[in-house]
Amino acid sequence: MTEILFREAIKRGLAEALEADPNVFIMGEDIGEYGGAYAVTDGFLAKYGEDRIIDTPISEAAFVGAGIGAAAGGLRPVVELMSMSFSLVAFDQIVNMAANLRYMSGGQISVPLLLRAPTGAGVQLGATHSQSFETWLADVPGMKCVCPSNPYDALGLMRTALREKNPVMFAEPALLYGMRGEVPDDHYEVPFGSAKVQREGDDVTLISYGAGMRVLNSAADELEANGVSAEVIDLRSLSPIDYETLLTSVEKTNRVLALDTARRRGGLMAEIAADIQERASEWLDGPVVRVGAEDVPWPYNRGLEQESYPQPADVLAALNKHFGI
């Protein structure tokens, strides 16, 4: 096992693909000489050259569209967006083109496009650079969507994404790029549609993904100190979702809280709560509780941003309110 940073895990996965497959190339804003906004592609231009590490103009619509065309033509492009917020500029290409071409062509055209983007608030990037639109893209048929919470999963999911025949949205929580974690030296992969039970418990099921796992694990530590055993589940894959793992946990604990570090209203956890209620209502001792960010534009001010961002105290307050724990 080797301890590496979250960004290094993603970089390792990309480097493996570049070295193993000449059809793999990366393009995006400032990914070449600058090394990427979060240093993920640092050193790639010198190592792999301008034909495979391509700095693009500031036009997401143009370079995402170019990536779709390259993928449909038989290449395997990796397109980096400087922020998940900027995916809005390319939603027509992502949603109407990339996600639908394989279906609309009767399987004649595959689009093995990997889209990467930093996502989420908490790093003082203001309202227009802090969105979590992976919660929207997880709703799009024809594409996969994943969001790791640690270096192990980041590398394992990256390896899986780079073998996928369909477009993949790889959401990278901006808060986690400097996180350290152990990664095996031997090859491994993390399959899509496989949630992970990060810690086992009997009293309540806590569900989140990405940066939300830090919040849940902190809350679970405090619950444990007070004699409450929480089972903590990391979705990892937002589309497809591993409902089998979720429902097995619900059957055991009978109580559920779902956390989304994006806004509570209209978030991914609303869908999960509805599905759990529909599929496992006989096991529930109360409502499926949801916690999320405040329904306001993300503030730049550090104090206000933290007030808007869900905290472990919010999880504990919701559990106490609904379940008395």
pLDDT range class, residue 266, cuts 50, 70, 90: confident
State CA 285 to chain mean position distance: 30
- Cα 200 from Cα 204, distance rounded (Å): 10
pLDDT value at position 221? Answer: 98
Given 29, 129, 134, 164, the catalytic residue: 129
Tell me if the domain spanning 196-323 has CATH number 2.40.440.10.
no
B/e letters for 154-193, b = 16+ CB within 10 Å, e = fewer, are: bbbbbbbbbebebbbbbbbbbbbbebebebeeeeeebebb
Say if residue 44's pLDDT is above 90: yes
Q: What is the mean pLDDT of residues 275-283?
A: 95
Answer yes or no: 60 catalytic: yes
Domain limits, CATH 3.40.50.920, in the chain: 196-323
Task: For the domain covering 2-183, report its CATH number.
Answer: 3.40.50.970
| Chain mean pLDDT for the chain | 97
Q: What is the mean pLDDT of residues 148-164?
A: 98
pLDDT value at position 273? Answer: 96
Residues 6+ apart with CB under 8 A from 260: 132, 135, 208, 212, 267, 268, 269, 290, 291, 292, 293, 310
pLDDT range class, residue 216, cuts 50, 70, 90: very high
For the entire predicted model, the pTM comes to 0.95
Domain limits, CATH 3.40.50.970, in the chain: 2-183
